[in-house]
Structure 1
Amino acid sequence: FEYDQTLVSHEMLESLRDFAVGDPYLQSRLQRFQARLQSTGFFAAVLVEPRADEASDGRVPIAVSLHPAKRHSFDAGIGYSTDTEGRLTLAWRTPRINRFGHSQVSRVVVSAVNPSGRVTYNIPLTHPLNDLLQLWARAEENEFGDINSQQLELGSRREIRSSNWVWGYSVRDLEESWNLLGADNENDYLLLGGSLSRRDLKGSLLDPEGGFSQYYALEGASQAAASDIDLLRFTSLLRYVVSPLPRHRMVARAELGAAEVIAGDRRDLAPSLSFFAGGNQSIRGFGYQSVGNELSVTRANGSPRELVVGGDRLAVFSLEYQYYVSDSWRGAVFIDGGDAFDAGEFNWNYGTGFGIHYLSPVGAVRVEVARDISEDEPEWRLHLNIGAEF
């Protein structure tokens, strides 16, 4: 093997090769090696080329041409969804900081509903694609039901890919402040956690004809370790896609969660650690994060008001049928249901509707209308979103 430059360590490049000198020659192995080199993001172009004319003693030399990616790149984009409204995204990327493959991504999202900023520093460990340490700092503001929340976070996570599974463990320090009924709240949480995920697809990455994705995460915090409450929090997200007949497709989704305050005051559970439902990716027919446990209050004029403050449990389910009118267009009908609630207080909230999807190069552009059918006089709500189900 001959590499035409040493921008990253030789050991890191070699870890991407899954065959040894003396193994039988297979073009598919070279193609897989080239794809892995390209996937690192270190290089703008990669060419793995056999030199058959230089073969001797039954061995074929392999030349690897690596053209480095730009040291820095800047991206800007605009988007819109009915959940977070209009947004402007600015990103600065450094795909290769040193010969050990370190990289960074800094991103700012300007949005009326959910503005945020995040810096992530990536360090490859035993493998540049399959074993990664991430360090990050994040600032974010979000609307959870009738609560406005501000979050500051520092964290680290190790993520390992093995046999189609991705598992990781993390620690993050979250400082969150929010206001409810004129009372300011500010709490700290040192959260240790782990996650496990897997995605199996059949067909296109953006529009698979079949597949199953699963994600599970568990986090904990303790008053003995710099947190204001003792907490155990579990979340899971499952998606299943099947195409029983040509042009016919079914999509099912389930999202479950539980946050158990073991010691401390339930009211000290921050909005971002509580659960809310409603919106494009949850129960359509409802506003973004508008479904949750409610608190009854009385206005100054004496009239009652219900404030959505979230729950410590989550259960949301969805079933959607899609029919392909053409290769680029499909129609859809769906029903979503569930609740974000406190333990023992589950109430079904149903939304149903229909829509049309355009299959663009960046994923499905979904235009849907839905309404809440658990109320007596529901109103239709428009939902706009871009992206794949997975």
Structure 2
Amino acid sequence: MRAPHLRLLAIFLGLALAMPAAALELVSVRVEGLEDEAQRDNVLAALSLEKLNPARRRALTEARLSFLLRRAPREARQALEPFGHYESQVQTEVERNGELVSVRVRVVPGEPVRVRKREIALSGPGQSDEVLARRIARLRPREGQPFVHSVYEDGKASVDRLLAERGYFRARLDAHRVEVTRAERTADIALSWDTGPRHVLGEASFEGHQFREGLLENLVPWTPGEAYDQARLVQLQSSLAQLDYFSAIDIRPEPGEGEDLEVPVSVKLSPAKRSVWSAGVRFGTDSGLGLTGGLERRWVNDRGHKLDLLAGLAQRRNDLAASYRIPAFRWIDGWYTGSARLQQEQVNGINSELLEVAGSRSGRLGNWNLVAALNLRRERFEDAATGFDYSYSTLVYPSLWAQWSESDDPLYPRRARGLTMELRAGSAALGSDIDFVQLRAEGKLVHSVGRRNRLLLRAEIGTTVSDEFPSFPPSLRFYAGGDRSVRGYGYKDIGQFFIGTDGRRYVFGGKHLAVASVEYERMFNRTWGMAFFVDAGDAFDSRASFDPQVGAGMGLRWRSPVGPVRVDVAHGFGSDAANSVQLHLNIGPDL
């Protein structure tokens, strides 16, 4: 009689075992105990628990969870070895809320393995190369520092790159050994390179361009037989790109085999579109709403001459400009330029008309962009002090403009510095109505504060020396106020002023200028951010009349695909602002 009962019991147990166990859901995996973000991320990425896809996280069984928990300590310890931690202690904890499971991985990294001894050597002709010697001296990790695998490999790769950049194309790594003694927590490094001979630069050949022979050859910044340096090729690439003649530039060194150490350089070019027409709508706080159009003739002939035409029609300013540029590559890369400009402008209710003709020579010397010019300006402007009768000014003067800058990124720098200076000097002996000397300088500094914050500083000063300043034209006087000056004030709203016969306040500029700005920027992500700023400045005739006008506000920052866009709202607190609130729109790089 017992057999039927046993059979029923066996069937019941079999059905119970065949039923699927209740599924668990893995909600989160956290790594604790590691302050270094890179170590924490590497451990998390190595855990099989973290690698589970969403479907498997929702269908996790007890058996699978137990298996993965047993693997976690070994995976975490292996993930920390590249950072020099070979004796890490790892514990796992599971938190349950019904079927929901959270896993916490606690890590005690322990003392890292440190470099006890380094033997790094160069042999061959390159052992006397000072540039290579400095790179070797800066290699990390140094003695006493934790042996981090990525730092070691990056340093080794940087030497390999530098050898190639310096023309040691036959260099080889003879020894690369690291001996780790876990018991003593030490690592001994041995590296040795045989540099081989250094190659020399050969002739540069140009293909695919549209110019007469000899024009582009003047841009080559080396003479054949000079020691190979990749920086020279980069310099040539930059010079060709700045010409705006080509849509594609391919520069390739072609080192030979055997005993030949000369490296010919092949430059393959593709012409860009020859004529570029432009038309659009523009808006600026200085000019108002308007239209603009132009023609750029990238090359007029096989000598590489350029022609630019530009016309603008706006509420408060109309422009018509033309320039003709001739290549000047023999001394320093640059241009001979002849230009003419007509401008009609209204600033603070005062109308002016300007004709300017200039001849200039531009060039780049080191990190400096330079322009030397001879200028002729004929200006007619309303004189509000005499009831808006027209006054006339004729100035002939040489000028020198210089700009220097360095940054880690041309559009969105985290560290950058820039300086711009301009000098003008007019004399009656040259045909000017008055004698004068004018100097202006502007400096900018960008400094990162953490990963998402930047501090932006700006200062501008200017001075005019002339015994006949009342006859100085409005277009060359100093003003402050506007998007790129003191925000919270209108364009050219700050300066010496008088009350006209109509009872209106007219700003006519000053002999001297002093402006300063402090801005703090916080980016919420890679695209959007906010900024807070304080600006102050004045355009004045004497120390007694110096009255800094202060503006402060906040703004939105958008890192657009074409460059930074800044939208600011600012309040002016000085007497020139009349408690106004101004909206400012600014587009372009920080320097």
Name the TM-score, length of structure 2 as normaliser: 0.60
* 2:399 alignment partner AA: G
Structure 1, 306-315 or 31-40: larger mean CA deviation? 31-40
Give the whole-Å Cα distance in 1 for the aligned partners of 2:308 and 2:232: 31
1:260 aligns to 2:465 (yes or no): yes
1:58: Cα distance to partner? 5.3
**CA-to-aligned-CA distance 1:180-237 (integer Å, 9 cap, x gap):** 23211111110112222211112x2111111111111111112232111111111111
Structure 1, 4-13 or 117-126: larger mean CA deviation? 4-13
Structure 1, 229-238 or 2-11: larger mean CA deviation? 2-11
Q: Are residues 334 and 222 of structure 1, via their aligned partners in 2, closer, same or farther at CA, if it must alter by over 3 Å?
A: same
Give the whole-Å Cα distance in 1 for the aligned partners of 2:404 and 2:231: 25
Give the whole-Å Cα distance in 2 for the aligned partners of 1:122 and 1:388: 25
* 1:372 alignment partner AA: G
1:11 aligned partner: 214
* 1:209 alignment partner AA: R
2:428 aligned partner: 223
Contact persistence 2:442–2:461 (CA under 8 A): yes
2:528 aligned partner: 329
Contact persistence 1:145–1:310 (CA under 8 A): no
Q: Are residues 223 and 2 of structure 1, via their aligned partners in 2, closer, same or farther at CA, if it must alter by over 3 Å?
A: closer
Structure 1 gap ranges (5+): none
Give the whole-Å Cα distance in 2 for the aligned partners of 1:313 and 1:27: 46
1:201 aligned partner: 407
2:580 aligned partner: 379
1:289 aligned partner: 492
2:553 aligned partner: 353
Contact persistence 2:343–2:355 (CA under 8 A): yes
1:184 aligned partner: 390
* 1:309 alignment partner AA: F
Contact persistence 1:247–1:325 (CA under 8 A): yes
Q: Are residues 259 and 27 of structure 1, via their aligned partners in 2, closer, same or farther at CA, if it must alter by over 3 Å?
A: closer
The residue correspondences of 1:242-321 to structure 2 (distance < 5 A) are 242-262=447-467, 264=468, 266-299=469-502, 304-321=503-520
**CA-to-aligned-CA distance 1:104-163 (integer Å, 9 cap, x gap):** 211112221222121111122234972322110011122333322111010011122111
1:327: Cα distance to partner? 0.7
* 1:186 alignment partner AA: Y
1:50: Cα distance to partner? 5.1
Structure 1, 274-283 or 47-56: larger mean CA deviation? 47-56
Secondary structure of the structure 1 residue equivalent to 2:424? strand
Give the whole-Å Cα distance in 1 for the aligned partners of 2:263 and 2:548: 65
1:319: Cα distance to partner? 0.8
Give the whole-Å Cα distance in 2 for the aligned partners of 1:388 and 1:64: 31
Contact persistence 1:40–1:129 (CA under 8 A): no
1:267: Cα distance to partner? 2.6
* 2:553 alignment partner AA: G
Give the whole-Å Cα distance in 1 for the aligned partners of 2:254 and 2:366: 32
Give the whole-Å Cα distance in 2 for the aligned partners of 1:254 and 1:42: 36
Secondary structure of the structure 1 residue equivalent to 2:269? strand
1:81 aligned partner: 284
Q: Are residues 374 and 133 of structure 1, via their aligned partners in 2, closer, same or farther at CA, if it must alter by over 3 Å?
A: same
Higher-helix-fraction structure: 2
The residue correspondences of 1:39-118 to structure 2 (distance < 5 A) are 39-49=242-252, 57=260, 62-118=265-321
Contact persistence 2:219–2:329 (CA under 8 A): no
Give the whole-Å Cα distance in 2 for the aligned partners of 1:112 and 1:142: 9
**CA-to-aligned-CA distance 1:229-250 (integer Å, 9 cap, x gap):** 1111111111111113221111
Contact persistence 1:82–1:385 (CA under 8 A): no
1:37: Cα distance to partner? 2.3
Secondary structure of the structure 1 residue equivalent to 2:215? helix
**CA-to-aligned-CA distance 1:319-366 (integer Å, 9 cap, x gap):** 111111111111101111111111231111111100111011222211
What root-mean-square deviation, in Å, do the aligned CA atoms of Structure 1 and Structure 2 show?
2.5
1:169 aligns to 2:375 (yes or no): no
Structure 1, 103-112 or 30-39: larger mean CA deviation? 30-39
Give the whole-Å Cα distance in 2 for the aligned partners of 1:76 and 1:388: 22
1:286: Cα distance to partner? 0.6
Count of residues in Structure 1 that have an aligned counterpart in Structure 2? 383
Give the whole-Å Cα distance in 1 for the aligned partners of 2:258 and 2:471: 70
Q: Are residues 161 and 53 of structure 1, via their aligned partners in 2, closer, same or farther at CA, if it must alter by over 3 Å?
A: closer
Secondary structure of the structure 2 residue equivalent to 1:18? coil
Secondary structure of the structure 1 residue equivalent to 2:355? strand
1:385: Cα distance to partner? 1.9
Identity between Structure 1 and Structure 2 (%): 30
Contact persistence 1:175–1:188 (CA under 8 A): yes
2:63 aligned partner: none
Which structure would you say has the larger Rg? 2
* 1:317 alignment partner AA: A
Higher-strand-fraction structure: 1
Contact persistence 2:397–2:430 (CA under 8 A): no
Structure 1, 217-226 or 351-360: larger mean CA deviation? 217-226
Name the TM-score, length of structure 1 as normaliser: 0.90
Q: Are residues 387 and 129 of structure 1, via their aligned partners in 2, closer, same or farther at CA, if it must alter by over 3 Å?
A: farther
1:341 aligns to 2:537 (yes or no): no
* 1:145 alignment partner AA: N
Structure 2 gap ranges (5+): 1-203
1:59: Cα distance to partner? 5.2
**CA-to-aligned-CA distance 1:73-123 (integer Å, 9 cap, x gap):** 212233323333223221211111223322121111222122212111112
1:5: Cα distance to partner? 4.6
Q: Are residues 167 and 51 of structure 1, via their aligned partners in 2, closer, same or farther at CA, if it must alter by over 3 Å?
A: closer
**CA-to-aligned-CA distance 1:294-342 (integer Å, 9 cap, x gap):** 112343xxxx432212111111111111111111111101111111111
Secondary structure of the structure 1 residue equivalent to 2:465? strand
Higher RCO (Cα < 8 Å, 6 or more apart): 1
Give the whole-Å Cα distance in 1 for the aligned partners of 2:331 and 2:268: 18
